[in-house]
Structure 1
Amino acid sequence: MVAAITILTNSFSSSSSSRISFPSHEFVGPPKVASSISWQRISFCVEWFPSFQLNTTSRIALRPVLGVLSFQAARRLRGRFSCVGTNTHIQTDDLFSFFREIGLNDGETNLLLAKNSTLRSTSLDRIRSQVLALQSVGIKGIALFRLITKCPDVLIAEEIGMLISFLNNDLQVEIDSTQLERFFRGVEPRFLLGFDQKVKLLLHHGIPPQKIGYVLNNVNLNKAFCIKSVEDIERTITFLKPYGGTDIIVRRPAILNYDLDAHLIPKVQFLRELSGEDEEATGIVLRKLPFILSYRLEHMEGHVEFFRSNAGLSDQEVFKIIQVFPNMMSASKDRKLRPRTEFLKQCGLNSNDIFKFLTRAPLFLALSEENISLKIGYLVKIGYKYRTKELAVALGAVTRTSCENMQKVVGLFLSYGFSCADILAMSKKHPQVLQYNPSSLEEKMEYLIEEMGREISELLAFPAFLGYKLDDRIKHRFELKKKTRGEGMSLNKLLTVPADRFLSKKVVRVK
């Protein structure tokens, strides 16, 4: 052994003085077959003789060393060298081959291994199992390639495997693969612990199992389930319970993203104070439009203040409008609210009139300028005077119909012999007449003429006839009454009598 060390020392010292500089990082890339001893073997010799420095001839000088050592020692060294080289070769080759199968070229695999050197020491079976788990939730092809190259930790993180197992086996819901990919790219695996408990908490509080998938697909999973603790989620659900609780969450899952103290409590409290501390009414607003909690508190306060100062409405009147039409909060103050309220004032409406108008026709605040202009044009053409209360009332009645439908209704009346003055008179008595479906109107007018034997002009006296259902009301009552009262009965009395009185009169006559 002493002789071997002496020979090795002489061999090293007699060579050139230039030094071998080893790379500062591990060798990456698939190993290549070489006739000389591999760098791993040289590294082993450095560990065997730590006091020596290698020079450029040391790779050649290693061969005589094995010849000088005893046969058994040399065989042990060769065996150890062979095992190290072969195992590394097989593991690395297998990794490169596997990554080629899922779309990575060798250069990309090199970068991947450089980002996460732990992959080299991780068994291929474990990596393959993790990839299969990701594919089982829909992360495949380019999405899988994108996720692995950006976040190689997903290939070894046990927490991700546990989460996927929970989704597939326990929860049995389908989460959008894009949602999961975005989630895995933005979360540290350690924050996934407890994810299952938080989801089960939602189920425990009443979110239907068939809806939990929708909830998970429409939240920021990191904000809602990783950053927040179980206690945070519990507090949010408890706070919302008087106003609709989990029903609000199902309708607007993004509520789980919000901070309870900084966002939810101030906004809900603002609405509640505006309602006069009416908890039930506040709940109606939140259930009707949970999205209202997405607006900034300053935005909501600004809209309320606008109606106070520009329309002269009280807080509770403003809340009534919000209760009827929560989307009022989304309308621009400068482009819609201000010009619309000014128009109503020009039509002669005072604060009380504006309040009544907006509770009956709140959509007026959301329609486009073009839509409103066209409807005003049609109303003026049939005889309404511009900037009058009558025009405002008629405009409110047609906010829910399209301009095309309104034009067809006017055309239908004209085809039955009505003049514009007649249409004006009917719409003043029954403003909704201009928003009815043209086909339904024609069917009712034909029944009035053909089956009931009446004149079309009778609609001038009772245009509300066109608002009743043909089969359930008009035909049913006419067939019952024509045998006892004849065909000349008043349309008004035939249709406006409440059902209980109508039936009681019928019973009396039968007796």
Structure 2
Amino acid sequence: MGQFVDRVVVQAAAMRRDRPDLAHQSFNARARVYIQESGIVELIKWFKHNSMTYPQIAKVICSCSGDLEKVRRMIKWLRSIYVKGEFLGRVLASGGSFLSRNFEELEEIISYLESFGVRRDWIGYVVSRCPQLLNFSTDELETRVQFYTDMGMNEKDFGTMVYDYPRALGYLSLEEMNSKVQYLKEFGLSNEELGRLLAFKPQLMACSIQERWKPLVKYLYHLNISRDGMKRMLMVQPTIFCLDLETVIAPKVQFLQDIGVRSDAIGNVLVKFPPVLTYSLYKKIRPVVIFLLTKAGVKQEDIGKVIALDPQLLGCSIAHKLEVSVKYFRSLGIYHFVLGQMVADFPTLLRYNVDILRPKYQYLRRVMVRPLKDLIEFPRFFSYSLEDRIEPRHQMLIANRINMKLRYMLTGSDEEFAQRVREAVERRTRFEAGKAIVETSDALETSEDGEATAAVVCQNSRDVD
């Protein structure tokens, strides 16, 4: 507050000359009058109301060289760009050198941000979370904006990125920004892919290479995840690279190993379904596993296999997806343990929408006239399109008067299926031809026996005569 105190001293001394009504009063009295007239008491009360500490208040006042009128104008300007009251104190306390800048320069910065997709009604939110943006010169701000636009970001993506995480633009040094981008490129990302990635998850720029990324990459490497696998994880779920390895990621991997997912399959699970690492272990992952074991009939020895084959199950809602599917299959007359075997054979079974399953089941039972046993033996039946696969192939079987198991009817390409049909028709033709030969042979033998009997009878008749 030294500068403000100096201002009080100067103004109190000047009052003796400029204010005849105060000339006869003591210096302390004139200083008291100046302090009261300056409005600093009300201003300090306002700052305290907005959760500012006394050192922060002193910093703001000193930044304006004790000119309280400038502080008031700055508050008015911040409100004009939609900085909310609850954040005004924070912006003033952490803003730094922008408090001494003229408003034309500040408006130029705001206009520049607007020209690159940061909407006017977003500006207050952006400045509230990163007041450092107001400290940049126009040239420095242009350099930072170009850093992102050179990666293929359009105005819409850039504006959304700045709104989602303003610090990506204004908090880090250009050197830090470049080093992080170069590290991310080592995963095989192109410039455009990197632009899309940072537009979607700009919080990556806040992560430390040494403390966050390098330990994670080493850990994933030991899980046999290749660079391409890490790239997929980064593109599908970039949040993973913002998570703490020790407290968030490692416990989930350990849990997967504990339920029976083989160590050599863990990496494939994470690459196939990266979001699993972002789910809560106790609120999401464990409850789904318990549901599969208790309600879906999956055996303890099969649960690891089920998760390894279809880790997306861990992302399903128990109430709105898994429970509904289990109830539907049980309503078909499928026993609890039988359903568990079906899920072990084809885990995706529980992720299908019941509205899609129902017409396929009705076609199987009413049109194809197949027993429930056929479905139990081949639960993958539900994975095929009714219109494009099941109906056409069933009609072909009917046209050729043959039958085959669902497994052979639905798997393979159309050419392979046509070949199976031809082979089945040939077998039937050979069978029918062989049966005809046998029947003809039997008929000939019967005729010959009849003729021999007639001859014997005739011969006996002659002997009597």
TM-score tier after normalising by the smaller chain length: 0.5 to 0.7
Task: Give 1:70-109 correspondences, 5 Å limit.
Answer: none
Q: Which residue of 2 aligns with 1:227?
A: 171
Distance 1:324 1:217, change over 3 A: same
- The structure that is helix-richer by fraction is 2
After superposition, what is the alpha-carbon deviation per residue over 1:393-440, rounded to whole angstroms, capped at 9, x for unaligned?
355131341122222321232331525xx24314523x3212444454
Letter in 2 for 1:53: P
Task: Give 1:80-479 correspondences, 5 Å limit.
Answer: 117-118=69-70, 144=80, 146-147=82-83, 150=88, 156-164=102-110, 166-167=112-113, 173-186=116-129, 187-188=131-132, 190-193=134-137, 194-204=140-150, 207-210=151-154, 213-219=156-162, 220-245=164-189, 247-248=193-194, 250-251=196-197, 252-275=201-224, 278-297=226-245, 298-311=247-260, 313-314=262-263, 316-341=264-289, 343=292, 347-348=298-299, 350=301, 353-370=302-319, 371-382=321-332, 384-387=334-337, 390-393=341-344, 396-416=347-367, 418-419=369-370, 422-429=371-378, 431-440=379-388, 443-444=391-392, 447-448=395-396, 453-454=399-400, 458=403, 460-463=404-407, 465-466=409-410, 473=414
Are the equivalent residues in 1 in contact too, given 2:240–2:277 (CA < 8 A)? yes
Letter in 1 for 2:307: L
Letter in 2 for 1:375: S
Are the equivalent residues in 1 in contact too, given 2:237–2:274 (CA < 8 A)? yes
Are the equivalent residues in 2 in contact too, given 1:427–1:433 (CA < 8 A)? no
CA distance in 2, matches of 1:190, 1:321: 45
State the Cα RMSD in Å. 4.7
In the TM superposition, residue 235 of structure 1 has moved relative to its aligned partner by 1.0
Are the equivalent residues in 1 in contact too, given 2:110–2:123 (CA < 8 A)? no
SS in structure 2 opposite 1:117? Answer: helix
Are the equivalent residues in 2 in contact too, given 1:159–1:189 (CA < 8 A)? no
After superposition, what is the alpha-carbon deviation per residue over 1:21-60, rounded to whole angstroms, capped at 9, x for unaligned?
xxxxxxxxxxxxxxxxxxxxxx9xx97992873279xxxx
Are the equivalent residues in 2 in contact too, given 1:405–1:438 (CA < 8 A)? no
CA distance in 1, matches of 2:204, 2:166: 13
Letter in 1 for 2:250: E
After superposition, what is the alpha-carbon deviation per residue over 1:192-227, rounded to whole angstroms, capped at 9, x for unaligned?
3423212322344xx2143x6414413555421212
CA distance in 2, matches of 1:215, 1:489: 66
In the TM superposition, residue 489 of structure 1 has moved relative to its aligned partner by 6.7
CA distance in 1, matches of 2:283, 2:236: 25
SS in structure 1 opposite 2:212? Answer: helix
After TM superposition, the score normalised by the length of structure 2 is 0.60
Distance 1:357 1:156, change over 3 A: same
Instruction: Count how many residue pairs are aligned between Structure 1 and Structure 2.
Output: 353
In the TM superposition, residue 119 of structure 1 has moved relative to its aligned partner by 9.0
In the TM superposition, residue 360 of structure 1 has moved relative to its aligned partner by 2.3
Letter in 2 for 1:146: Y
Gaps of 5+ in 1: 1-42, 57-113, 123-130, 135-142, 491-511
In the TM superposition, residue 248 of structure 1 has moved relative to its aligned partner by 4.6
Gaps of 5+ in 2: 1-10, 24-65, 93-97, 428-465
Are the equivalent residues in 2 in contact too, given 1:453–1:487 (CA < 8 A)? no
Are the equivalent residues in 2 in contact too, given 1:390–1:428 (CA < 8 A)? no
Q: Which residue of 2 aligns with 1:105?
A: none
Are the equivalent residues in 1 in contact too, given 2:389–2:410 (CA < 8 A)? yes
After superposition, what is the alpha-carbon deviation per residue over 1:90-110, rounded to whole angstroms, capped at 9, x for unaligned?
xxxxxxxxxxxxxxxxxxxxx
In the TM superposition, residue 340 of structure 1 has moved relative to its aligned partner by 4.5
More divergent stretch after superposition (397-406 vs 375-384) = 375-384
After TM superposition, the score normalised by the length of structure 1 is 0.56
Distance 1:279 1:120, change over 3 A: closer
CA distance in 2, matches of 1:292, 1:48: 65
Q: What is the percentage of aligned positions where both structures have the same residue?
A: 14
CA distance in 1, matches of 2:102, 2:310: 59
CA distance in 2, matches of 1:174, 1:439: 46
SS in structure 2 opposite 1:311? Answer: coil
Letter in 2 for 1:386: H
In the TM superposition, residue 257 of structure 1 has moved relative to its aligned partner by 3.4
Are the equivalent residues in 2 in contact too, given 1:300–1:329 (CA < 8 A)? yes
Distance 1:268 1:203, change over 3 A: farther
Distance 1:163 1:261, change over 3 A: farther
> Given the alignment, which residue of 17, 27, 30 partners 1:50?
17
Letter in 1 for 2:342: L
